[in-house]
């Protein structure tokens, strides 16, 4: 997967495949933003403010702020948010691999590369969901 690191950044520019742009729009509602290298924000309190509404229910309309979480809840929330960041990073890798296929033409190596990064992304989304369930149980 070393080829991914050498690809030009995707950034906020429109992507040739509309599905990627639409996906970014959906993810942005949950705090996703395209970040340049070294620019991944990991302010747990800020991120929790973006994501905690996802845990609100009729029985629990007011989800605690990050500072008000218990130690075990905070640890689970940080795991949940870290897994979200991993998914964000892997989405960028998918975009870059897809862009390379479009730019250089589809060949077996590029298809295999895209398949590998896409699978890693899908696994990270599943892990994010699992972390959400663990956190939900603690809230």
| Spatial contact of 36 and 60, defined as CB atoms under 8 Å apart | no
Residue 37 has pLDDT above 60, yes or no: no
For 51-82, how does the pLDDT look when each residue is reduced to its tens digit (9 = 90+)?
Answer: 888 899 998 989 999 999 999 999 999 999 99
| Spatial contact of 114 and 101, defined as CB atoms under 8 Å apart | yes
Which of 5-9, 24-28, 75-79 bottoms out in mean pLDDT, i.e. has the lowest? 5-9
Q: What is the DSSP letter of 38?
A: T
Instruction: Return d(Cα 79, Cα 69) in angstroms, integer.
Output: 14
For 121-133, how does the pLDDT look when each residue is reduced to its tens digit (9 = 90+)?
Answer: 999 999 999 999 9
pTM, two decimals, is 0.72
Q: Give the pLDDT score at 80.
A: 94
How is residue 51 written in tokens?
A: 């994501």
Instruction: Return d(Cα 139, Cα 132) in angstroms, integer.
Output: 11
| Spatial contact of 24 and 32, defined as CB atoms under 8 Å apart | yes
Q: Give the pLDDT score at 120.
A: 94
Give the other-Cβ count within 10 Å of 92's Cβ.
21
Average pLDDT over residues 7-21: 51
Residue 28 has pLDDT above 80, yes or no: no
CA 107 to chain centre: 27
How is residue 117 written in tokens?
A: 């990064």
């Amino acid at each position: 997967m070393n080829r991914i690191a050498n690809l030009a950044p995707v950034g906020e520019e429109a992507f040739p495949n509309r599905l990627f742009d639409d996906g970014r729009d959906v993810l942005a509602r949950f705090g996703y933003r395209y970040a340049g290298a070294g620019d991944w924000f990991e302010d747990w309190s800020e991120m929790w403010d973006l994501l905690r509404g996802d845990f609100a229910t009729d029985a629990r309309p007011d989800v605690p702020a990050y500072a008000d979480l218990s130690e075990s809840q905070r640890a689970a929330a940080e795991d949940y948010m870290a897994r979200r960041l991993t998914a964000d990073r892997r989405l960028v890798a998918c975009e870059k691999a897809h862009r390379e296929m479009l730019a250089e033409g589809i060949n077996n190596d590029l298809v295999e590369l895209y398949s590998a990064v896409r699978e890693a992304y899908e696994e990270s989304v599943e892990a994010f969901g699992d972390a959400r369930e663990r956190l939900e149980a603690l809230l």
